[in-house]
Every structure is written in structure tokens, then in C-alpha cells.
Amino acid sequence: MIASECPHGTDYRYDQEFNVTIQKGKWYFFFTNIPSDPEIPLQMSVKSNNSVSLFAGKITDCPNGAGEPFLVVPGNNRYVRGFCTYRVDLGMISVGIRAEENVRVFVRLEGQHKENTTKFMVLKLVLILLVMLTLLFTFFCKVVLPNEMKQKYKSE
């Protein structure tokens, strides 16, 4: 994929909804994070009043339309959900939106803030709780009770 340098001041977007106006034949670029799990694609919903294409690239090189777009929005003012599977080592990508005509584009980045809770994480927390309770019980039996017993026998 041939790419170009990203413009100075390119926006960073994360798990938000935003809208932009793009002039005919121009681009709008933004940076965003991709999910760390390679099985999970970046999800976004896009709506516009004219046709637009979305491309992905590295954060050092913004896309210039040489490759295939990961999402084409027909421009019927309905949200179209797309999945970007572009992967890079840094975990951040640049997204370019190309407009053929003057267009108002609404973009929703979805699901970036959600962390998947797995059974492993729940099991880990339960084991930590059990270890803490065991240590507390041991401390109580070895330190607190013997001291109370000594105090009781001294007072008699």
C-alpha cells in the first residue's frame, strides 16, 4: 500500500461519536486505537449524505486510497457498520475518509472502552480472595487468639 504523510494536527479519536464536513476530493484523517486482541476488529458506524470511502494505514503514513477501502458508505443518511481488520504492532492506526462530493460525515467508534472480562480474570480474583482469607485466618489463629489466651491467664 502506498501511503502519504499524515497532516500536522491530525485528530486522535477514541470511543466517541463525531462529525466532520469534507470538501469534494478532500480527505479527513484521524488516529485511533485498535483492539489488542487480533481476533477482534475495530468497529465503526458511519453515515453520510454522499458516498465516502474509509481506508486504514499506519500512524506514520496516512492512507492515500491506493489500496482497497475497508468500508464504503453509499450516502443514504443511514449508519453503515464496518469492521477494520488492519493490524500494526503499535496498536494505533490512521483512518482516512475520502469524499467524492461535498459531504457531512458522522462517525461512531464503537466498543473501544469495553474490556472483555474472561473466566480467567474472575478465577484469578477468586483465588486472590481465598489466599487473603486464608492468611487472615492463619494470622488470627496464630497471633490474636494466643495473645488473648495469655491475657486471660495473666488476669487469673
> What CATH number does residue 64 fall under?
2.60.120.10
Band of the pLDDT at 114, cuts 50, 70, 90? low
Tally of domains within the chain:
2
* Separation of CA 72 from chain center: 22
| Same-domain pairing of 8 and 65 | yes
> DSSP 3-state helix, strand, coil percentages of the chain (rounded to 5)?
25, 40, 40
Whether the Cβ atoms of residue 76 and residue 110 lie closer than 8 Å to each other: no
* Range 26-52 average pLDDT: 88
Distance separating alpha carbons of residues 56 and 29, to the nearest angstrom: 10
- Asked if 26 and 92 sit in the same domain, the reply is yes
Instruction: With beta carbons less than 8 A apart as the criterion, state whether 87 and 142 touch.
Output: no
The mean pLDDT of the chain is 85
Model pTM score = 0.66
One domain for residues 137 and 60: no
pLDDT 10s digits, 50-96: 999 999 988 888 888 888 899 999 888 889 998 888 888 778 889 99
> Is the CB of residue 38 less than 8 Å from the CB of residue 97?
no
Containing structural domain, residue 36:
3-110
Other Cβ atoms closer than 10 A to 28:
21
Measured CA to CA, the distance from residue 54 to residue 81 in angstroms comes to 12
Distances (CA, A) of 10 to 2, 5, 7, 13: 19, 11, 6, 10
Q: Are residues 100 and 127 in the same domain?
A: no
Distance in angstroms (rounded) separating the CA atoms of residues 40 and 73: 22
